[in-house]
Amino acid sequence: MKRNRNFNLLLTGQSLANIGDVLYIVSIIYVIFELTGSAAAAAFVPFTITSSMFVSNALTPLLMERFNLKWLLAGSQMGKTGLLITLALFVPHLTLANYYLLFLAISLVALLDGCANPVTRSLLPNYVENEELMKANGTTETVTQFIQTAVWFVGSSLLIFLTATQLVWLTAVLFFLSSFLLSKLELVSFTPSKQQGKWQQIANGWQTVSMTPVLKRIAWMDVLETIAGTVWIAAILYVFVSDALLADEKWWGFVNGSFFLGLIGGSIFCLRFSALIEKNLSFFIFTGAVSSSLMTIFFGLTSIPALALVLSFLVGIFSQIKNIPQQTVVQTSVPKDRLPTVFTTLGAIGTGTFGIASLVMGILADAFGIRSVFVLSGILLAVVGLIAFKGRVLLWRTVQE
């Protein structure tokens, strides 16, 4: 891809923030578990994050009416920097009587994160030419998934050498560097109307999605895929490894790591063959969904740990082969000034669905067995493939316009 100062700043700034996010979550979960000895209390961290991000995605359009996208993104990282400094000062004084205040801090950080994610996706098409967009998305996803895979391991290892408080201070430094780099981005020309009421500002994205056929189709695909994807959360995967594979805890880490390596592999594939995928977006979206469906069902039925590793890797690959072209379709489906509200809407749909579906999948796994939820996941992905196949002409036209 051609040298692009804004893209490099955006990618580097968000990468530093993503590293900080993982390190901060690792340290907080460690602190809560060490203090309470309760796995349930530690597990409440991701639930708090998901719930807060849903609220943030729903309300972000109001902020977009008041602040330029660049400063909204940089400001969210500045806010996280301040919260992490406060947190670092507070952690040494934590007790069983006041540790619940941690969840308030976690919620506030997630509110800022929920604002940053859709803004980042909206800025990308403003800094990258359309013909480079597929490659830019591939590069971004490759870096993001690599961070997710590597930093979880590094973060837990750092706790051997650093205290949780020191890890929080390190995270604050990363957020500060991120906000500094993002503040150097060029301003974009997004100037929303200030004549609308607050509810209309929030509703704009929902109206755009519901009135744009390709976005409505993608929203339904996102809902089904999000429900299907909840089988890969740590809790359900742990039960699968223990009850279905009859393997010990190390295989839990192997299977989870294999899935994330597959995500990286899929991102690299999209990056390497971006020109080919650009010309056949609907085909790759359909193929990725159907292949993910088959691999997920096979994964749910296997009893061989080594085969489970291979299948989880393939699920990761095919997921990205679908998701990256699909994101490119969204970015080219409406004018750039409407992308911020579209991404906040899709983000709200995704986080809301994930929070509810995670609980439902856990209940179904208890009621019908752990294998059943993976078979259900595969069936849902097959339906996603069917929706993509029926809308293949629509997806093609979207990119050609």
In the chain, % of residues over pLDDT 90: 29
CA distance 3 to 17: 22
CA distance 353 to 46: 14
- Residue 374: pLDDT over 80: yes
Phi, psi angles (nearest 5°) of residue 120: -60, -45
For residue 385, the tally of other CB atoms under 10 A from its CB is: 22
Residue 210 pLDDT class (50, 70, 90 cuts): confident
CA distance 54 to 348: 5
Higher pLDDT, 214 or 189: 214
What's the confidence (pLDDT) of residue 400? 44
What is the mean predicted confidence (pLDDT) over 247-264?
82
What's the confidence (pLDDT) of residue 386? 93
What's the confidence (pLDDT) of residue 44? 72
Q: Under 8 Å CB-to-CB from 322, ≥6 apart: which residues?
A: 284, 285, 287, 288, 289, 292, 384, 388
Give residue for tokens 């996941």: 377
Higher pLDDT, 94 or 9: 9
What's the confidence (pLDDT) of residue 199? 60
Give residue for tokens 């308030």: 104
CA distance 148 to 3: 25
Domains of the chain listed by start with CATH number: 1-185 (1.20.1250.20), 196-401 (1.20.1250.20)
What's the confidence (pLDDT) of residue 228? 93
Phi, psi angles (nearest 5°) of residue 356: -70, -45
Tokens for 286?
């359909």
pTM of the model: 0.74
- For residue range 274-324, list pLDDT tens digits in order: 888 888 888 999 999 999 999 999 999 999 999 999 999 999 999 999 998
What's the confidence (pLDDT) of residue 399? 47
Lowest mean pLDDT segment, chosen from 72-86, 288-302, 324-338: 324-338
- Residue 59: pLDDT over 50: yes
Angle in degrees, CA 239, 241, 245, rounded to 5:
125
- For residue range 7-37, list pLDDT tens digits in order: 899 999 999 999 998 888 878 877 887 787 7
Q: Are 141 and 270 in contact (CB under 8 A)?
A: yes
What's the confidence (pLDDT) of residue 137? 82
User: Contacts for 215-221 with beta carbons within 8 Å, 24 or more apart?
Assistant: 215/330, 215/333, 215/334, 215/342, 215/346, 217/387, 217/388, 217/391, 217/394, 218/326, 218/329, 218/330, 218/346, 219/345, 219/346, 219/349, 220/387, 221/289, 221/326, 221/384, 221/387, 221/388
- Residue 101: pLDDT over 50: yes
If you write DSSP's letter for every residue of 25-65 in order, what string do you get?
A: HHHHHHHHHHHH--HHHHHHHHHHHHHHHHHHHHHHHHHHT
Residue 193 pLDDT class (50, 70, 90 cuts): low
SS3 67: coil
What's the confidence (pLDDT) of residue 393? 60
- Residue 235: pLDDT over 70: no
Residue 336 pLDDT class (50, 70, 90 cuts): confident
Higher pLDDT, 323 or 334: 323
Query: What is the residue type of 369?
Result: G
CA distance 15 to 143: 7
In the chain, % of residues over pLDDT 70: 90
What's the confidence (pLDDT) of residue 397? 46
Q: Are 19 and 151 in contact (CB under 8 A)?
A: yes
What's the confidence (pLDDT) of residue 214? 85
Residue 212 pLDDT class (50, 70, 90 cuts): confident
- For residue range 116-167, list pLDDT tens digits in order: 878 887 788 888 887 787 888 888 888 888 887 777 667 767 877 888 889 9
The average confidence (pLDDT) of the chain is: 83
Higher pLDDT, 355 or 127: 127
CA distance 332 to 76: 26
Higher pLDDT, 221 or 237: 221
Could you report how far apart the first and last alpha carbons of the chain are, in Å? 23
Phi, psi angles (nearest 5°) of residue 268: -65, -40
- For residue range 46-58, list pLDDT tens digits in order: 778 888 888 887 7
What's the confidence (pLDDT) of residue 401? 46
What's the confidence (pLDDT) of residue 269? 93
